[in-house]
Structure 1
Amino acid sequence: MAASLPRKGLFDIPDGVIYLDGNSLGPLPKGAAERALNVIGEEWGGELIRAWNTADWMTLPKRVGDRIAGLIGAPEDSVATGDTLSIKVYQALAAALEMRPDRKVILSDSGNFPTDLYMAQGLIRTIGKDHELRTPAPEDVASAICEDVAVVMLTHVDYRSGRMHDMGHITRLAHEAGAVMIWDLAHSAGAVPVEIAACRAEFAVGCTYKYLNGGPGAPAFIYARPDIVERIEPALAGWLGHAAPFAMEPDYRPAMSTERLRVGTPPIIQLSVLDAALDAWDGVAMVDVRAASIGLCDTFISEVELRCPQLTLASPRDSGLRGSQVSFAFEHGYAAMQALIDRGVIGDFRAPDIMRFGFTPLYIGDDDVRTAAAIIAEVIGGELWRDEKYQVVSAVT
């Protein structure tokens, strides 16, 4: 039986706070802090280096990867965890280019998250083989896929607007053109149903500190389609991606699974926190999460538009084209967001004028949405954002 939503009791959310920023950093799951303390005090403190065996630290990345696989429609043994999302983008992109040595174009879109584009630019400079990064507008990607494209690399759900690409359609077009497909699931994993194996994409990457609630700096993940694993040549040939790390062989021999995409020593404390965070997903069906998310987002859009004509919807109105966030454009969006945060409604801001609100049905309900809309109306209608203290721009927006 699927678990009911929301499951707010599974999270430590401060009293008086409506948390609409899980699309940027998920809240602290109950049990996660205790798990970290146990790893630090009992396993590391008590067992010292023996804990790699006695606490089974060595297999933790795979065990966590298998749990993530269940949330993105992937089979066991196809998801590796560790490192950062930027590193995983680099790994996937470098491997994909090796698979299409006669092609020189990386196709992304102009709305992609900056780090994905930066990693592509850096890789192009590093390999020095005249590759080209093309970034058409998101709506023009499908028509830009042609036979000189080596790799199509897209973020499934746009970080600013929540606009969602049609994963199946784009992947099919990429394959028809002979290109490799990479999906960034940073704003998808735990937010919308994903069937990565069914769509046949070669690679997917993602982070775990957003909708998966793994905590700041939580390790990233990478999926590789099982039938291509043995053809993947890791650009970052790390020790723990070796077939037999403790054989201490002088030459690299990749593991015969997605584990070859591991690089360095796994962050055990952070992986343990993530493992505990994933308990909140036990018994939860993504189809139920999606249905609840659509209801929450649609209600929010209706309530805010009714109360705040000063705001302009920046997300697709059609829920089928939108992830689990709603963005509004407002000239004074940064200051308005600070005023909202001051009143217990936490979202965030993205330049130049986007106020972002994420909806996580695990801990957000209909009452939260309506209360948040009322507070937004007070801030916007009363121009409370004009207070000087809300004009000071912090390092993180």
Structure 2
Amino acid sequence: MQRQGLEAFRQEVRGWIAANLTDDLRDAAARATSVFVDKPHAMAWQAILHRHGWAAPHWPREYGGTGWDETQRHIFDSELAAAGAPSLSPMGLRMVAPCIMRFGTPEQKAHYLPRILSGEDFWCQGYSEPQAGSDLASLSLRAERDSEDYVLNGSKIWTTHAHFANRMFCLVRTSRDGRPQQGITFLLLDMALPGIEVRPILTLSGDHDFNQVFFDNVRVPQSGRLGEEDQGWGVAKYLLEFERSAAYAAGLTAALDRLLASAAARDFGEGGTLLDDPAIRRRFARLYTDVHAIHAAEQRMMAAIARGRSPGPASSMLKVQGTEAQQRIQELAVDIAGPYAAPHQFAARAAGSNLPFVGPEDDLTASARYFNGRAASIYGGSNEIQRNIMAKLMLGL
């Protein structure tokens, strides 16, 4: 698309967002301290996008995508971030959906993909276990065949939004023969099945995003298997490439821009602002440089995906750079907030709250986002593991 056409597209997107993004949705996004906005607001925004055909711009057109190219998708993401729109849950749209498109049967595609697009199905990820985190191949949740079902016993942990989800994509142990990766199977299951129990795990920020999920003789139909039995490791790796290659640049840029405006409004003495502090300016300069580099890397990787290639080890690089830049922005926000980052104001920062709070509103979520963001370099495979992947597959070490 030519430059003139891209600018017209940007104005179309910007105008549509301005007309459809409600104040309560913008407020929910502004007060969210996790990468996940609470389910009611996320699903309300997804429904609005879905009615316009924009819920899954990265999906192929034949499954309900927009048919946009990479530049258009970047413009769309940038405008959403700049407008302060809520993020959508990636579990269905960005993670399991590409796996269903690649590995699913025609029946699975016809059943699940429309429900993911509309938001009728809300997914969680059953990967980590108490003894299997970054070393995911050591998972032990048992799945034994019994007639037409798999019978599951064991548990999953750090299961984001399992208390909201009606579906889970799950890795289970179906064999212990050979290498650990060879005995893993990928299942799609209903969270309402008898024998499933969800217990909450509260984070340092006071949020309830995570859970531990217990399986006690849970019967999952074999029709829920995605791919072949004992071959789920390949499906899992494919999914993780999409989880780790999530677009970071648009959100990081918007967060930096808001933080810059906040710093410019703060007194630094003698009529100056915080931006007159050379140390603060240097930190902003480094962060903007980092984010521009991340944007360039994302563009290269998205172009490769558009040509039919998987993200590969480049997704590990983006995961490291994106999450660590996010953490440095959160650290700077806490430093800018100063003493106003200290009070714990859980109720005041809830979406729609009209309770009074201490300090500027910009500082209300600073410490909670900082604490929640510590997990970013751990989930999706720790950054140490990602560096090992890069060393092996990109550098040949």
TM over 0.5, shorter chain? no
Structure of higher RCO (CA pairs closer than 8 Å, 6+ residues apart): 1
**TM-score w.r.t. structure 2 length?**
0.25
Q: TM-score, normalised by structure 1?
A: 0.25
